[in-house]
Amino acid sequence: MAVKIIAEECIGCESCIDACPFPGAIVMDDGIAKLTDKCNGCGACADACAVEAILVEETEVKSGIDINDYKGVWVFIEQRDNHIANVSLELICEGRKLANELGTELAGVVLGDGVEELTKYCFAYGADKAYLVDGPVFKDYRTDSYTDVIVEMINRYKPEVVLFGATNNGRDFAARIAVRVHAGLTADCTELGIDPETKQLMQTRPAFGGNIMATIICPNHRPQMATVRPKVMKKVEPDFTKTGEIIRVENSVKEEDVTTKILEIIEHATKMINLSEAEIIVSGGRGIGGPENYYLIENLAEVLGGAAGASRAAVDAGWVPHYRQVGQTGKTVAPKLYVACGISGAIQHLAGMQTSDVIVAINKDPEAPIFKVATFGIVGDIHKVVPLLTKKFKELKEAN
């Protein structure tokens, strides 16, 4: 969109400046509003202008492709050592709904070495087809080999929608694929839908620090691409009696063309319970007071058979590694039990854990916002409460 200010109509009231979400995009010049190069054409100012001195014009973007050539919904099936990431199965279930609304087919895209067995999971969770890319060069995830083959496939088969898990791998190569195929990518979606009139994919994600939910469309380019975080979409019960078509994909990727070689995989964080998959999570925030106290969180998590998480404040302070962060810029989790210790309950933290089945909050401030989402709240000092809980659960475990 293009925004234009009609100087003769402007009365210099500055309401456009108040309405503009981008500081410095509109300035006053001799009592008249003037756009700067910080304007991104969102048009928020036009709605605020009482004297209709601001015009918003649609600009036509030509992508050079016929979007009608693109059909079908694809889900990238992420696997490691032949185990499918849960998020891929969640996305197959979500993709099924989108494909039904579009009246099109749903396909899983399976890459790996000796992974044909995995196609049955695609069908069990709702896919009509599976594209199978099988060979030693795809054994482990590598950015270039995986990007090259998916780009080849998109150019050959022309899917309308492609979904990826917002995992380390998904985040790494989905953006690269989007650039290569001249499409956009909406990262970290929390909701997907189909516009009933235009049939475009509506990709919703938090924006402006989680203060608004933005719905993004991609009207002129294909495929429409999105990443979705683990645990945001719900999985249905699989039906392993279902079958579908397997399309074996010929491709031009050769080992000698791949610039990275995997020499050794050192298992470290993976040996611990994965935060995204954990059924019980105990998280510590700034209220733990320092890195030397994080053991309190780890001890409680261990006795409950769960994983230890953290708020961003604890991570930013350098007390806890980033892979433990829960929230908008960390992991999205939905365990059966989430224990928040010394965490205030900022919206960005809640965005990553508020769908947990049971939330227990421990905080010394009875007014802390975390208590608004908590199933059970304990007002108290975590340095006293957490060791008591750990001791009690240990005793109960030993007694059984």
Ligand X SMILES: Cc1cc2nc3c(=O)[nH]c(=O)nc-3n(C[C@H](O)[C@H](O)[C@H](O)COP(=O)(O)OP(=O)(O)OC[C@H]3O[C@@H](n4cnc5c(N)ncnc54)[C@H](O)[C@@H]3O)c2cc1C
- Residues of this chain that interact with ligand X (CB under 6 A) are 209, 285-287, 311-314, 325-330, 342-344, 346, 348-349, 352, 362-365, 368, 381-383
CB closer to ligand X, 116 vs 365:
365
Cα(387)–Cα(142) distance, integer angstroms: 43
In whole angstroms, the minimum distance from the beta carbon of 166 to ligand X comes to 13
Q: Are strands 212-216 and 201-207 parallel, antiparallel or unpaired?
A: antiparallel
Cα(193)–Cα(178) distance, integer angstroms: 20
In whole angstroms, the minimum distance from the beta carbon of 90 to ligand X comes to 20
Cα(317)–Cα(135) distance, integer angstroms: 44
Write the DSSP symbol of residue 331: B
CB closer to ligand X, 290 vs 305:
290
DSSP notation for 89-149 = HHHHHHHHHHHHHHT--EEEEEEESS-GGGHHHHHHTT-SEEEEEESGGGSS--HHHHHHH
In whole angstroms, the minimum distance from the beta carbon of 231 to ligand X comes to 14
CB closer to ligand X, 231 vs 312:
312
Residue 95 near residue 41 (C-beta atoms within 8 A): no
Cα(382)–Cα(389) distance, integer angstroms: 10
CB closer to ligand X, 233 vs 346:
346
Query: Helix, strand, or coil here: 314?
Result: helix
Give the chain's length: 400
In whole angstroms, the minimum distance from the beta carbon of 275 to ligand X comes to 12
In whole angstroms, the minimum distance from the beta carbon of 287 to ligand X comes to 3
In whole angstroms, the minimum distance from the beta carbon of 311 to ligand X comes to 3
How remote is the C-alpha of 14 from its chain's centroid?
37
CB closer to ligand X, 72 vs 284:
284
CB closer to ligand X, 119 vs 325:
325
